[in-house]
Structure formats: structure tokens, C-alpha cells
């Protein structure tokens, strides 16, 4: 198996872990907070899981680097805006479709996150 295929498979496993964390936190919080604030907190929770798994397992970068952490934070801050915006836009059109909105937001940020991590953060 080529290196990129292995990384994609590992990224998918890491992604499922991060999305599970993201969705669990989101659906727990929306009973208490508005959707956008709940989505931001859940996205950050999933981001922490994603960083740990992708750094050490997917891209095998065991050394600590402040530059890497900074790049990851910039990438995920950017994709946080995309994630929350997509979630908001879908809910604006389809207000009761929370799961669909969540999946659209997650899909958009997932593609951007893989590309950013592969070619910028952990290159």
C-alpha cells in the first residue's frame, strides 16, 4: 500500500474518532446552548482528538514543534469558520435538518483538514 493510501485510511479512522467526539459534544450541548455555539465547542473538542491521533499515528510526527501546533491551530481555526458557516447555512434553509447540517459541515471541513495537514502542517 502506498504511503498516501495508508495516511488516508488512518486519517479516516482518526476522523471517525474526531467526528464521534464532535457529534457527541454537539448533540449534548444543543439542549442548553444555541446551535452555532454548540457547534463551535464540539468542533474544538473534535479538533483536539484529531490533532493527537493525526500527529502521532496518521502522519507519524512524534517530535514536539510549536510551529506545527501553530499551523494546526491556523488550519483548524479556518476550517472552524467553514464548519460553523456550513452548519448555519444548511439550518437556515432546512431548519429541522440538524443531522444533515452536521454532516455537510463535517464533510466540508474534513476535506480541507486532510489537505491542510498532509501538505502544510505535517509535511
Q: Which of 52, 74, 78, 76 is nearest to 64 (CA)?
A: 52
CB 89, CB 83: distance < 8 Å: no
Q: How many CB atoms lie within 10 A of CB 71?
A: 17
* pTM greater than the 0.75 cutoff: no
List the chain pLDDT tens, one digit each, 123 residues. Answer: 698 899 889 999 998 999 899 899 999 999 999 988 998 899 889 989 988 999 999 999 888 788 998 999 999 899 989 999 999 999 999 999 999 998 999 889 888 988 999 899 988
What is the distance between the alpha carbons of residues 43 and 46, in angstroms, rounded to a whole number? 5
- CA atoms within a 13 Å half-sphere pointing along the CA-CB vector of 3: 4
Per domain, the residue ranges of the chain are 3-121
DSSP at 33: S
User: Contact, 30 vs 23, CB < 8 A?
Assistant: no
CA distances from 1 to 6, 35, 42, 118 (A): 7, 41, 34, 17
Can you read off the three cell numbers belonging to residue 76?
A: 483548524
C-alpha 36/C-alpha 34 separation (Å) is 6
Amino acid at each position: 500500500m502506498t504511503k498516501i493510501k495508508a495516511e488516508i485510511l488512518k486519517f479516516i479512522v482518526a476522523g471517525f474518532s474526531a467526528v464521534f467526539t464532535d457529534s457527541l459534544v454537539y448533540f449534548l450541548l444543543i439542549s442548553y446552548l444555541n446551535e452555532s455555539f454548540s457547534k463551535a465547542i464540539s468542533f474544538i473538542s473534535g479538533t483536539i482528538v484529531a490533532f493527537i491521533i493525526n500527529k502521532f499515528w496518521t502522519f507519524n510526527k512524534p517530535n514536539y514543534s510549536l510551529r506545527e501546533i501553530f499551523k494546526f491551530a491556523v488550519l483548524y481555526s479556518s476550517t472552524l469558520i467553514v464548519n460553523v458557516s456550513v452548519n448555519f447555512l444548511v439550518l437556515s434553509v432546512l431548519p429541522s435538518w440538524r443531522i444533515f447540517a452536521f454532516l455537510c459541515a463535517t464533510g466540508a471541513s474534513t476535506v480541507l483538514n486532510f489537505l491542510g495537514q498532509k501538505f502544510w502542517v505535517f509535511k
